[in-house]
């Protein structure tokens, strides 16, 4: 082994600009692909009798200083476990490198001392650093006092100092601090100092390797982003302070990312009291807590193209929402699904050019209409939902009327009463025999208590997608009246309206028109002869008639 000189203190050329420039997660260019063989080799090295022998074995495959550090890092992260018992009883604990190696476990101090010792044996300058960390047990917004509570390392490579934390690289401890799980984390190897400061504050501020350096107060007030935040390619979260106060019962959060990331959130453990919209480069979330006080808000993310099996939603950022007053009007129906409104996800499913890009539709007269261009050959299914029993499932379908004009679909909605409603949109490929898949939903709000629209007429299977009802749109007809019918239908030979008597409609271009009298009947049916030579006809629409 060569003798290493004493570590030199950090100077101007070691410093990185703060805040993070969003360039790289690491403080020097690292090609992980090139480490594949070295990593695999280091994992297999199984020497426990002495630190010297271990380093010798690891260096067999390592040429450059970077490779030497990588081999040592990989070995420690996969062979030393965090000592949860020792943590609670530090007097019995040795963090001497030889003891850590024999025991195969330690706390952060032991990881850092073993790392430093192995590097010095390999001829690489390395320093153990002490400081405060936002690690296990950290509470959003807390202050740090007294002695340091964590240890990590700086290594000198290619003329500059770099930071790493092998304790956090090796895995994690459960909430009760009784069980350690190996879970390798690449993020803490040569982490960019402007990101490392997010959760590591060294006692000696020169070891932040930043210009400007942060004060302890700034460190305490800064947002804690988990390593998942950066590993998933997320760039920023707003607000940048961990505690948010509601304004008129509402708090807003947004996350910026590179593209195509899926998000979810939990406010006090559920996703009910929020409106989250997915944007191409991130997400926006408004939450409306329904109780005053402090609420934990967690934001989760995962890549949209899940390649690996472990691509589950991972927590990326946490806030505390301080709610001073409640906006009762923003109680959302239980059926509301996150995200709300159209997004790149609904576009990918074939719903292009939405007429309404916002998640909420406000209607004063209880009616609204949305249009989309369908990019694929899909069938669409829609339903309207609200809390309480005012809308049974079949009626929920009948308060939305679909009309197709070539590749465009229009959804007309008539609300049965005032309140908050969810319009759910499902689709399937026309060629698929299977079920419809849920795609997205809107929140529809109406405050006008006068509103009371009846359902649209009931449509039967012979009513084709591109037929259109021009009148009457209401599924409830007045009693003892002459009612005008005007329907757009093609490919039929004859159309009849059956009330007490039967009334034929006449064809005028592509419309069938005529009148029918509703006296003496409870129901009115529209029927078609598909072929002039056939004697039977099919029901296509059914209307109810008001009782006197």
Q: How far apart are CA 521 and CA 499, in angstroms?
A: 6
CA distance 315 to 185: 15
Asked if residues 323 and 289 have their Cβ atoms less than 8 Å apart, the reply is yes
Token pair 């190696």 in the structure block, residue: 101
Beta bridge partners of 497: 503, 526
CA–CA separation, 545 and 548 (whole Å): 9
User: Which residue bears the tokens 């460190």?
Assistant: 219
419-429, strands of its sheet edge to edge: 360-362, 437-446, 419-429, 378-385
Residue of 39, 165, 271, 286 with catalytic role: 165
Type and span of the H or E element at 36: helix 36-44
10 Å CB burial of residue 171 (0-12, 13-18, 19+) is middle
Closest CA to 266 of 309, 317, 342, 332: 317
Residue-level length of the chain: 548
Cross-strand bridge partners of residue 155: 126, 162
Is 27:190 a contact under the CB 8 Å cutoff? Answer: yes
Q: Is 150 a catalytic residue?
A: yes
Give me the catalytic one of 150, 162, 192, 225. 150
d(CA 530, CA 543): 21
Task: Locate 81 and state its tokens.
Answer: 């476990």
Dist CA 3 CA 8 (whole Å): 15
Give CA–CA dist 421/453, Å, rounded: 14
Q: What is the 3-state secondary structure (H, E, C) of 234-294?
A: EEEEECCCCEEECECCEEEEEEEECCCEEEEEEECCECCCEEEEEECCEEEEEECCCCCEE
Strand arrangement of the beta sheet that strand 408-414 belongs to? 351-352, 367-374, 408-414, 400-405
Strands (E), 108-229: 126-133, 150-157, 160-164, 171-173, 180-182, 189-191, 200-202, 210-211
Per-residue H/E/C for 86-113? HHHCHHHCCCCHHHHHHHCEECHHHHHH
Closest CA to 253 of 280, 228, 220, 288: 288
165 counts as catalytic: yes
Quick count: other Cβ atoms within 10 Å of Cβ 69? 25
Q: Give the catalytic positions in this structure.
A: 108, 150, 165
């Amino acid at each position: 082994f060569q003798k290493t000189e004493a570590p030199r203190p950090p100077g101007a050329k070691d410093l990185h600009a703060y805040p993070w420039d969003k360039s790289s997660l690491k403080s020097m260019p690292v090609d992980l692909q090139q480490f594949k063989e070295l990593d695999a080799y280091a994992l297999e090295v199984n020497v426990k009798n002495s630190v010297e022998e271990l380093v010798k074995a690891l260096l067999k495959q390592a040429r450059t200083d970077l490779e030497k550090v990588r081999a040592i890092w990989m070995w420690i992260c996969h062979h030393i476990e965090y000592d949860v018992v020792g943590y609670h009883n530090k007097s019995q604990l040795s963090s001497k490198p030889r003891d850590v190696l024999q025991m195969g476990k330690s706390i952060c101090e032991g990881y850092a001392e073993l790392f430093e010792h192995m590097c010095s044996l390999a001829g690489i300058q390395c320093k153990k650093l002490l400081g405060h960390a936002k690690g296990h047990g950290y509470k959003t917004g807390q202050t740090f006092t007294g002695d340091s509570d964590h240890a990590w390392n700086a290594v000198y490579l290619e003329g500059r100092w770099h930071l790493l934390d092998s304790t956090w690289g090796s895995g994690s401890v459960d909430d009760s601090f009784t069980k350690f799980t190996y879970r390798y984390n690449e993020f803490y190897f040569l982490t960019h100092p402007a990101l490392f400061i997010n959760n590591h504050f060294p006692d000696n501020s020169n070891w932040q390797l930043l210009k400007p350096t942060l004060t302890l107060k700034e460190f305490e007030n800064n947002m804690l982003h988990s390593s998942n935040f950066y590993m998933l390619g997320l760039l920023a979260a707003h607000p940048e302070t961990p505690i948010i106060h509601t304004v008129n019962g509402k708090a807003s959060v947004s996350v910026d990312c590179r593209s195509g990331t899926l998000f979810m959130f939990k406010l006090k453990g559920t996703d009910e009291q929020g409106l989250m919209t997915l944007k191409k480069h991130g997400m926006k979330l408004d939450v409306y807590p329904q109780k005053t006080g402090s609420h934990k808000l967690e934001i989760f993310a995962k890549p949209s193209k899940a390649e690996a099996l472990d691509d589950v939603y991972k927590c990326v950022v946490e806030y505390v929402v301080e709610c001073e007053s409640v906006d009762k009007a923003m109680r959302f129906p239980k059926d509301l699904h996150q995200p709300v409104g159209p997004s790149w996800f609904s576009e990918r499913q074939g719903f292009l050019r939405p007429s309404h890009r916002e998640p909420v539709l406000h209607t004063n007269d209880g009616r609204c209409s949305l249009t989309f261009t369908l990019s694929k050959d899909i069938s669409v299914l829609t339903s309207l939902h609200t809390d309480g029993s005012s809308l049974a499932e079949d009626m929920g379908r009948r308060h939305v009327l679909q009309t197709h004009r070539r590749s465009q679909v229009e959804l007309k909605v008539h609300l049965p009463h005032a309140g908050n409603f969810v319009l759910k949109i499902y689709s399937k490929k026309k060629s698929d025999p299977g079920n419809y898949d849920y795609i997205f939903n809107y929140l529809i709000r109406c405050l006008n208590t006068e509103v009371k629209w009846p359902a649209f007429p009931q449509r039967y299977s012979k009513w084709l997608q591109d037929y259109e009802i021009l009148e009457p749109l209401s599924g409830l007809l007045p009693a003892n009246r002459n009612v005008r019918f005007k329907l757009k239908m093609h490919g039929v030979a004859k159309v009849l309206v059956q009330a007490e008597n039967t009334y034929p409609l006449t064809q005028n271009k592509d419309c069938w028109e005529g009148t029918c009298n509703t006296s003496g009947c409870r129901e009115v049916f529209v029927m078609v002869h598909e072929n002039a030579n056939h004697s039977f006809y099919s029901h296509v629409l059914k209307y109810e008639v008001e009782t006197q």
